[in-house]
Chains A and B, each alone.
Chain A
Amino acid sequence: MFFQDSHKFPGKLIIVEGIDGSGKSTQVRLLHSFLESKGYPVFMTEWNSSEVIKKTTKEGKKKKSLTPTTFSLLHATDFADRLFYQILPPLKAGMIVLADRYVYTAFARDAVRGAHPAWVRKVYNFAARPDLAFYFKTPLATAIDRILSGRPKLKYYEAGLDLNLASNSEESFKIFQGMILKEYDRIVAEFGLTVVDATLEIEEQQQMVREVVMQQLQGFTTKRRNYAKRNKVFWRRFALPQDKRP
């Protein structure tokens, strides 16, 4: 599979991107409810949530031992696991997959951390190309206000402290997010993401998103059958053995 080409699966892949505090998670949740209310079978997946690698990532972050390359590869591993166990099965089954963050997050962050942009694109070449990708464009000041007011303390990698941009974590966070914003602008142009003005009211943004999505879904007829819904879908037949590290 190649990222350049559109995927051949019967389902639809819709993803949202944006810096922290852009409001993309709110929007994707609203979209989720909307699509379900329309009777579509929807599966939702989040960045950085695979069980295989969770502990390793957490430990690496705690020990601050991650380099730009290991940081990038850990996220790619996480993504690969989710792709094969969470994203592709519903796509093959003709469902709608909503992803909160996708490979573009890695393209932006890893490039800012110093990994070669061409290399990062090659690493993620196995990913399925989304049918629709929204980018929630936010001015830096707005996003930072939202994040800093809602969070007591910034984490090391979240604030980009590994880049030695500033000694103060808030200062570092601001510079880091500014760099990621610039990188996103480049990515929007390169991959043709659909830009949503994230300074608009939530319902205005959602209205736009829904219009674009419904246009994309023209001719897409798969509806949910009438069966009970579980709150979480498990694609794994077997659980992974527990990681016994303390």
Chain B
Amino acid sequence: MPSGIKFFGEGLPYLKTSDLKGKLIAIEGTDGVGRSTQIELLEDWLQVQGFGVVVTGWTRSNLAGAAIEMAKGGNMIDRMTLGLLYATDFADRLENQILPALRSGFVVIADRYIYNAFARDSARDPDSSWIKEVYGFAPVPDLVCYLRLDVDNHIPRVIESGGMNYWESGMDLHLADNIFDSFKKYQKTLIQSYDDMVMTYGFEVIDARRSVAEIQQDLQAHIENVVKKTRGSLIPLPSGRGFEKPAKAGNEVANLNARQIEKRLQTGVTQIFGQTGAEISVGEERLILSPLPPPDFPGSNDKVIPFSSATPTPARSPEDSGSTNSA
């Protein structure tokens, strides 16, 4: 059966997956390497170019998110139960959020993907392949960027940004009698597990010791390669976003005037989403891809992803939008 995406194992036999046109990009790395900062910048960068972007965070599902918090709070849950709870959370986000978004042609950025679960599990039982088999239903991402930071550079950042907690320190493993030493040992093991996966799963390794702008530049270059394959060339970001862009992209921008940029933007988005716009459900939230610039953009809570249009038609309503994708 021809399929738009590959799975790690058995996949989802009851779902049609040959029509997924979007791209799935995973950003991996231990806690505190700056994933969320980078993802925010990437989201902006992609949206400016007219790409619909959905960001999905580990343990953020409507279904199991609260149960995970509760289970962790009790500190009385074993490795496998917690592993399955994470898998439940991921499955819920996959089927109700990621796949519908991919079907509508979004770029989906996963703030940590299943490799994070592999690393956690291998730190607890290095010989077990069980968790990898559990995630046999997960699609293989189009790109995995691994933000790598060594433990010595990592620690000050973690302390600055809220400190160490029980699970991030692997306290359940009893590696040391205090949280600092436990954290250090545990994170070292995690980094080692990630390093071991680089070759197996083809991660793009990104040195996260550098500045935000430098890391962002690397990420953009990798993502551009992936998105380009199906979408034609991207419109580079106009300057003034607070970080440097690759020189090549800068030149290209200089050669385009505003009208040209807007036109390419419009065509690009129309190619992706059609004239009517599209609507998808992400958990309980409804995302609307509108061909109209919404009145309250930017900063609206509506999460409308706009692209420009000359016709000032009245605001769209969810009911009359063309394609729906209820999970």
Which A residues contact B (CB, under 8 angstroms)? Answer: 52-53, 55-56, 59-60, 65-70, 73-74, 76-77, 80-81, 84-85, 113-116, 118-119, 122-123, 125-126, 236-241, 243, 245
Give chain A residues whose Cβ lies under 8 Å from the Cβ of B9.
Answer: 119, 122
**B13 within 8 A of partner (CB):** yes
A74 near B88 with CB under 8 A, answer yes
Digitize B227-250: 1 where CB-to-A-CB distance is under 8 Å, 0 elsewhere. 000000000000000000000000
B77 near A81 with CB under 8 A, answer yes
Closest 6 CB pairs of A and B: A114-B14, A116-B10, A122-B133, A73-B88, A119-B10, A80-B81
A73 near B81 with CB under 8 A, answer no
* A65, A84, A116: the one within 8 Å of B63 (CB): A65
A236 near B95 with CB under 8 A, answer no
**B285 within 8 A of partner (CB):** no
Give chain B residues whose Cβ lies under 8 Å from the Cβ of A80.
Answer: 78, 80-81, 84
A123 near B134 with CB under 8 A, answer yes
Which B residues contact A (CB, under 8 angstroms)? Answer: 9-14, 62-64, 66-67, 70-71, 73-78, 80-81, 84-85, 87-88, 91-92, 94-96, 130, 133-134, 136-137, 327
A65 near B62 with CB under 8 A, answer yes
Chain A residue, CB-CB nearest to B12: A69
How distant is A103 from chain B, measured CB to nearest CB, in Å?
13
Give chain A residues whose Cβ lies under 8 Å from the Cβ of B95.
Answer: 67, 69-70
Give chain B residues whose Cβ lies under 8 Å from the Cβ of A236.
Answer: 76
B14 near A240 with CB under 8 A, answer no
Q: State the main secondary structure of chain B at its contact with A.
A: helix
B96 near A238 with CB under 8 A, answer no
Give chain A residues whose Cβ lies under 8 Å from the Cβ of B13.
Answer: 114-116
A67 near B91 with CB under 8 A, answer yes
- A70 to B94 CA separation, bound complex (whole angstroms): 10
- A236 to B136 CA separation, bound complex (whole angstroms): 32
Given contacts A119-B9, A119-B136, A243-B70, contact A77 B85 (CB under 8 A): yes
- A65 to B283 CA separation, bound complex (whole angstroms): 9
- A67 to B66 CA separation, bound complex (whole angstroms): 18
Give chain B residues whose Cβ lies under 8 Å from the Cβ of A67.
Answer: 91-92, 95-96, 327
28 contacts between A and B (CB under 8 A): A56-B63, A60-B63, A67-B91, A67-B327, A69-B12, A70-B64, A70-B91, A73-B91, A73-B134, A77-B81, A77-B88, A80-B78, A80-B81, A80-B84, A84-B80, A115-B13, A115-B14, A116-B10, A119-B136, A122-B9, A122-B134, A123-B84, A126-B80, A126-B130, A238-B74, A238-B75, A240-B71, A241-B70
Give chain A residues whose Cβ lies under 8 Å from the Cβ of B136.
Answer: 116, 119, 122
Give chain B residues whose Cβ lies under 8 Å from the Cβ of A238.
Answer: 74-76
How distant is A125 from chain B, measured CB to nearest CB, in Å?
6
A70-B63, A116-B11, A122-B9 provided; 4 other pairs, C-beta below 8 A?
A81-B81, A84-B78, A116-B137, A125-B130
How distant is A200 from chain B, measured CB to nearest CB, in Å?
37
Q: Among A52, A59, A73, A237, find the residue whose CB has the most chain B CB atoms closer than 10 A.
A: A73
How distant is B325 from chain A, measured CB to nearest CB, in Å?
14
Given contacts A73-B88, A119-B9, A240-B74, contact A84 B96 (CB under 8 A): no
- A66 to B91 CA separation, bound complex (whole angstroms): 10
A52 near B81 with CB under 8 A, answer yes
- A84 to B76 CA separation, bound complex (whole angstroms): 11
Give chain A residues whose Cβ lies under 8 Å from the Cβ of B70.
Answer: 52, 240-241, 243
Chain A residue, CB-CB nearest to B283: A65
Given contacts A70-B88, A122-B134, contact A55 B74 (CB under 8 A): no
Q: Among B71, B80, B84, B95, find the residue whose CB has the most chain A CB atoms closer than 10 A.
A: B84
A76 near B84 with CB under 8 A, answer yes
Give chain A residues whose Cβ lies under 8 Å from the Cβ of B66.
Answer: 55-56, 243, 245
Chain B residue, CB-CB nearest to A126: B80
Give chain A residues whose Cβ lies under 8 Å from the Cβ of B77.
Answer: 52, 81
A84 near B81 with CB under 8 A, answer yes
How distant is B299 from chain A, measured CB to nearest CB, in Å?
30
How distant is A48 from chain B, measured CB to nearest CB, in Å?
14
- A52 to B85 CA separation, bound complex (whole angstroms): 10
How distant is B94 from chain A, measured CB to nearest CB, in Å?
8
Give chain B residues whose Cβ lies under 8 Å from the Cβ of A52.
Answer: 67, 70-71, 77, 81, 85
Give chain B residues whose Cβ lies under 8 Å from the Cβ of A60.
Answer: 63
How distant is B235 from chain A, measured CB to nearest CB, in Å?
37
